[in-house]
Homo-oligomer: A and B are copies of this chain.
Amino acid sequence: MIRCMRAAIIAVGSELLGADRSDTNSLFLAEVLSRFGVPLVRKVIVGDVLADLESEIGRARADASLVLISGGLGPTRDDLTREAVASALGRRLQREPGIVKELRSKFASFGREMPKVNEKQADVIEGATVLANARGTAPGLRVEAGSEVLFLFPGVPDELHGLVRKYLEPWLAQNSTGQALERRVLRLACIAESELEERLAPLYGEFGAGGVSVLPSPGEVTIRLTKTGTEEERRAWLNPRAERLGELVGEFVFGTREEASLEAEVGRLLLAAGKTVVTAESCTGGGLAERLTAVAGSSGYFLGSVVTYSNRLKERLLGVPKEALETHGAVSSEVAKEMALGVQSRLGGDYGLALTGIAGPGGGTVDKPVGTVFVALARPTGSGAVDVRRLRLPGDRARIRHLTTQWALDMLRREVRSPTA
């Protein structure tokens, strides 16, 4: 058993350095490593250049005890992985007649004669173990060199997957510490990065920052707690931290799974409360309703929406008084309020959620710059109770529109979860 195993991934292929090819093999390999609790030091993508490849392999061996290489095992002169590894390890390449024979019969089974170039795929690094590839011609290789182990896989995803399942996973099961990595996830909506830092300070103070990762994206933050060890060790570490996080930032949390979505959580809460929602949108142009209905089964709580891009339609479809529009402007607390009440009564939903704002790039003023948004929520009290919130959102048009729907959904989430008395 290799303790403290660390891995590095090298993806080989000049085409992967272009603009339109994503290196999906490395994502796949990273997933396998994380499943076996092997930390990944680095992922590199390098072109089909012998010197670059050689220096990359040397470097990977210096930093990692497990080196996973994909690509460069084909038959062309650009395929240099075997040569580079042999040269980096100071070993010879030997052509294996047995493999040449197998390659020939693979070609024969497709009714073709094997081109001479393909013989190169039978070259084996001195001392390496051959990994038979049932899905293609190029076999993989496993090479042990001192305390390091290198796996060479073909770059074709399907072939790589096959060899990983057949050879790498069993090898990891035997050689990794076998200690599963466990992860707890918190997804937070509408919290500023800096407020989060301040709120998390006590956590860091009490436990330290190790094993805690904080990943912000627009209108959202993901916090991950990660711990490797036995089940007992993991629980002893994770539980107190998860509990403390709940105290510190719980009100912002809309989900505890990677795939959680704010709109799904809002839907779950509405269904549980037996309430419906209708929406009225201006600057988001339907984006709020689009998110609400992205959830399968949303017809159980979402009835409909009105997108009023013109003032005339705000009057006609929602009954916003002309005076409100003339006195305060379409982007105002008053108009947002009237939109929420109007859509609630005209479309007949329990909650009426409305928004109006300036998404830009044009239309901003000194008082109401681009990013100014009003979100209004009419509550189902029958009393005409409406909460309005004024926001100043950053970013370009797309960002502002997205953040607007995010804040509106979160306002609804908080209200449905803990209705105002």
Task: List residues of chain A with CB under 8 Å of any chain B CB.
Answer: 14-20, 22, 26-28, 30-31, 34, 40-47, 52, 56, 59, 63, 74-78, 106-107, 109-112, 114-115, 117-118, 135-136, 156, 158, 162, 192-195, 197-198, 209, 213-218, 258, 281, 284-290, 292-294, 296-299, 302-310, 312-313, 317, 347-348, 360-362, 369, 392, 394-399, 401
Contact = CB atoms under 8 A, between A and B. Distances in A.
24 contacts: A17-B41, A19-B28, A19-B30, A19-B31, A20-B213, A42-B44, A43-B45, A76-B193, A107-B194, A112-B192, A115-B194, A117-B197, A135-B399, A156-B218, A158-B395, A158-B398, A281-B286, A284-B293, A286-B307, A294-B397, A303-B309, A303-B312, A304-B306, A306-B307
Given A42-B52, A135-B399, 13 more contacts: A17-B43, A18-B30, A22-B22, A41-B52, A43-B45, A74-B216, A106-B394, A109-B392, A136-B394, A285-B294, A286-B289, A290-B290, A304-B310
Contacts of A294: 285, 397-398, 401
Closest 4 pairs (CB-CB, A-B): A285-B293, A286-B286, A19-B31, A286-B289
A302 B310 CA distance: 8
Contact of A194 (B18, B20, B117): B117
A27 B31 contact: no
Task: Report the copy number of this chain in the oligomer.
Answer: 2
A27 to B, nearest CB: 6
Contacts of A287: 286, 290
Contact of A304 (B46, B197, B309, B369): B309
B313 A309 contact: no
A308 B286 CA distance: 12
A197 B115 contact: yes
A209 to B, nearest CB: 6
Contacts of A115: 194-195, 197-198
A78 to B, nearest CB: 7
A193 B115 CA distance: 10
Given A17-B30, A42-B52, A285 B290 contact: yes
Nearest to A285: B293
A299 B290 CA distance: 19
B158 A218 contact: yes
A5 to B, nearest CB: 15
A319 to B, nearest CB: 13
Nearest to A30: B19
A360 B294 CA distance: 10
A309 B115 CA distance: 37
Contact of A110 (B59, B112, B394): B394
A415 B336 CA distance: 36
* A47, A59, A286, A298 — most chain B CB neighbours (10 Å): A286
A302 to B, nearest CB: 6
A310 B288 CA distance: 17
B289 A307 contact: yes
B304 A305 contact: no
A292 B303 contact: no
Contacts of A310: 299, 303-304
A129 B134 CA distance: 54
* A43, A118, A297, A399 — most chain B CB neighbours (10 Å): A43
B303 A258 contact: no
A360 B297 CA distance: 9
A87 to B, nearest CB: 18
A290 B298 contact: no
Contact of A302 (B41, B45, B297, B309): B309
B307 A305 contact: yes
Contacts of A107: 194
Contact of A43 (B41, B44, B217): B44
A27 B17 CA distance: 8
